[in-house]
Amino acid sequence: MNVHITYKLSKTSDVEQAIQQQVEKLRKRLHVFKPDMVSLHGTVEEGNKRGFIVSLNLRLPTGQIAARSSTETLAPAIKSSFDDLIEQVTKHKDHLRNHHKWPRNKRMERGRYQSQVPFEKTLAAVQTPTISKEDVAGFVNVNLQKLERFVSNELRFRISSGQPNLERIATEEVIDEVIANALDDRKERPEKVALEPWLYRLARRAMDRLANQSRPEAPSISVNLLVPREKDDGHDEVIQEYDQPDEMLTNENLIADGRAATPEDIASNDEVVAMVDAALLHTRHEDREAFILNTMEGFTVQEIGAITERPEQEVRESIRRAREHLRKVIPVPDNMKSKSTVRSESA
């Protein structure tokens, strides 16, 4: 965005910093437009009698927006004019998103009307990259164990909470459906930055769908059923003739993999997860889910809102309620608190 501010008074560092902060706030609202097609012109001057006047003129590829404010002090005038400009920009963007849905002239004949192109698909809009099949495959190859852990813990908690029709659902079944839905070209994909929350949201939807669908009973198999043996044609002997496994122990086998978790770490992590699940068993499902996604999976409040399809304020409230419940049910000794504090300071 091209910015040009004219000062018709003595310019100070405080005034320049205040305007720069407001410009950065406005810049975040204009990320859908190409920066080289956006320009902001402003004027800061003293009034004829008293006070200050701030005038702004924003030129967009889709129109022009102006704002003006006059107050006795300069700082409120800057803030008021930029707030008015941001409010007009928000309304202008909403109008652009919905403008293609209505014809320009309602009296136009139905046969002559042609649908307009949405603003997001025009040359003036910034085209954000969406998730591709290669992105999904790359994420699954690296983070498959993390996704399996989330699905396994979620299934276990839902079963212990009494949700029906989940005992027969395996973790692999949910993962298969998540990957299949993620690779389906007919499904709408979000932006590339939201890949991980999107896959977790697909996992929640897959568990809900598998729990709601009717699963037919598997046919019973008699234990007395005789299975015919395959004819031995000696093919295995040919394979074993060239299969000579090396029984020698090399140095590579003695090097510890620092990236892999030790059995003690795995057992400790499972114990903590089981303890938290048991403590949150009598809380609301939304509170438990938001807390697990935030503390154990490392998602932010915005990402949790995208996963659970809930407002951010409700997510924050759920995390707060879950933490208060855990403090009451699982009190942490004072010596543990001091140890954790010292460890964080040394890190």
Least confident among 1-15, 93-107, 163-177: 93-107
Which tens digit of pLDDT belongs to each residue from 79-122?
A: 899 999 999 988 888 887 765 455 544 444 444 444 455 555 56
Of the pLDDT bands very low, low, confident and very high (cuts 50, 70, 90), residue 214 is very low
Which tens digit of pLDDT belongs to each residue from 227-284?
A: 555 555 555 554 455 455 555 666 666 676 666 667 777 777 777 777 777 788 788 8
Q: What is the pLDDT of residue 188?
A: 75
Q: What is the pLDDT of residue 15?
A: 87
Question: If we measure between CA atoms, which residue out of 267, 149, 264 comes closest to residue 157?
Answer: 149
Q: What is the pLDDT of residue 337?
A: 41
Question: If we measure between CA atoms, which residue out of 62, 166, 167, 158 comes closest to residue 118?
Answer: 62
Instruction: Say how many C-beta atoms besides its own lie within 10 A of residue 34's C-beta.
Output: 15
The DSSP code for 191 is B
- Contact residues for 255 (Cβ-Cβ < 8 A; gap 6+): none
Structure tokens at 73: 């002090």
Report all structural domains of the chain as residue ranges with CATH numbers, in order of start. Answer: 2-99 (3.30.160.100), 133-212 (no CATH)
Question: Alpha-carbon distance 40 to 58, whole Å?
Answer: 5
Q: Is 40 exposed, middle or buried (0-12, 13-18, 19+ CB in 10 A)?
A: buried
The DSSP code for 51 is S
Question: Alpha-carbon distance 203 to 284, whole Å?
Answer: 20
